[in-house]
Amino acid sequence: MKNIKLILLIFIISGCNNNQTSRKTEGAIDTKKENECAIVNYKIKKLNDKEKKIVEVAFSFHKWYIKNTNDLSSKVPTNFVVLEGENDKCLIDYEPYFNQLRKLGTISNSFMEKERQRTKPCVETILKMKWSEYQQGGEILEGCDDYIFWTRSQEETSGIEFIDLKRNNDIWLVRFQLFTIFDNEKKYSPYIGVVSVEKEDKKYMITNIQWSEE
């Protein structure tokens, strides 16, 4: 009987580790394939059902963002879109990006408004440019130096790891850290992410995400 249990245990572990190196490490969310092995952090396992739901909501944006920024062939907009206007002018369109966020069902309008404010300096720079000038590219524009802002890295991100969550009145604060795996070595981002989750119209929604240094 002990031998049978041992064989079953080995089978389960090997099944969880087949496709992604990051599954070997507790706390990892596999950003390439979602299955029952995606959340393995012992801290999450100790949460109650309500808290687990809040963490799931908190991670929804980054799981989506990482998936689409890791995939260089992805056509899914993860920021505002620059379009050609009349008379060689640039136009800015947030709707393709915001429509993707709305599909997640976990992103509040207040978060999307914060995205407008965060990207305002870059937008103001682009709107002063001619479309033909913008198309040339080649240099980082003023106010636009936060490319891939939500991973704080141009390297591929392997996953997101839960740290803890706290309740501040009606706001849940979920802390996390991103990591990259290279040559089987797990390297953490120097930044700690903090996601604010609040209830809006009886649904838990992301209202804010901010970075703090470790």
pLDDT, position 8? 36
Place of tokens 């704080």: 152
Place of tokens 């041992």: 6
The verdict on pTM exceeding 0.85 is no
For residue 7, what are its two tokens? 């064989």
Residue 172 has phi, psi (to 5 degrees) of -95, 130
Structural domains of the chain in order of their starting residue, each with its CATH number: 24-213 (3.10.450)
Query: For residue 38, which of 51, 62, 20, 50 has the smallest C-alpha distance?
Result: 20
pLDDT in tens, 64-120: 999 999 898 999 999 999 999 999 999 999 999 999 999 999 999 999 999 999 999
Instruction: Kindly indicate the confidence band of residue 30, based on its pLDDT and cuts at 50, 70 and 90.
Output: very low
- What is d(CA 134, CA 209) in angstroms, rounded to the nearest whole number? 29
Q: List the beta strands (DSSP E) in the chain.
A: 81-84, 90-93, 159-168, 171-182, 185-188, 191-200, 203-213
Of 16-30, 134-148, 155-169, the one with minimum mean pLDDT is: 16-30
